[in-house]
């Protein structure tokens, strides 16, 4: 549940950035960035928890490492996408977002384009089991017995 709430909060912040945030007062942009940070915080911890549950105890460190790697690769890919969108839309005379009416059109368009992966992530999150289902599945698994040391 917090994962989906976090995605929705980030999505709302992205749409607000694209519609009214870009080119607005610094305090307003900071407020939207803070809202986006809250959404990220609501999303990041449940993802790490889900990765550790899915990977299992024996592969937990590898799963969390791959999660971190995907996070950093996504950051690099996102920066490259932002640069590409800003370059492509540099001479645009009107924004893609019909609600935007200021001068920073390429930035408004970039924030709007970044709502697409958020919508995809939100759709994919609907296929995840709920926390109660995961807890019940873990509870029904037989407990692993620790290996016994052999006496010498």
Question: Has residue 32 been placed in a domain?
Answer: yes
Rounded-to-integer distance, Cα 93 and Cα 108, Å: 12
The number of domains in the chain is 1
Per-residue pLDDT tens digits of the chain, which is 152 residues long: 788 999 999 999 999 999 998 888 999 999 999 999 999 999 888 888 888 888 888 899 999 999 999 999 999 999 999 999 999 999 888 888 888 888 888 889 999 999 999 999 999 988 877 665 655 665 566 555 555 555 54
Question: Has residue 35 been placed in a domain?
Answer: yes
Q: How far is CA 79 from CA 53, 82, 145, in A?
A: 30, 5, 46
Question: Has residue 136 been placed in a domain?
Answer: no
pLDDT at residue 146, as a whole number: 52
Question: Has residue 77 been placed in a domain?
Answer: yes
Structural domain of residue 61, as residue ranges?
A: 2-128
pLDDT at residue 45, as a whole number: 86
Question: Has residue 64 been placed in a domain?
Answer: yes
Question: Has residue 135 been placed in a domain?
Answer: no
Question: Has residue 152 been placed in a domain?
Answer: no
Question: What pTM does this model have?
Answer: 0.77
């Amino acid at each position: 549940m917090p994962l989906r709430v976090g995605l929705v909060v980030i999505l709302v912040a992205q749409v607000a950035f694209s519609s009214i945030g870009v080119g607005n007062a610094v305090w307003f942009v900071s407020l939207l960035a803070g809202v986006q940070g809250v959404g990220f915080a609501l999303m990041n911890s449940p993802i790490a928890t889900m990765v550790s549950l899915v990977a299992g105890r024996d592969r937990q460190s590898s799963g969390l490492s791959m999660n971190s790697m995907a996070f950093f690769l996504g950051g690099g890919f996102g920066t490259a996408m932002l640069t590409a969108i800003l370059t492509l839309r540099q001479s645009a005379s009107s924004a893609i977002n019909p609600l935007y009416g200021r001068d920073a059109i390429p930035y408004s368009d970039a924030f709007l384009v970044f709502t697409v992966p958020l919508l995809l992530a939100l759709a994919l999150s609907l296929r995840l089991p709920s926390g109660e289902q995961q807890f019940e599945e873990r509870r029904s698994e037989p407990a692993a017995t620790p290996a016994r040391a052999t006496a010498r």
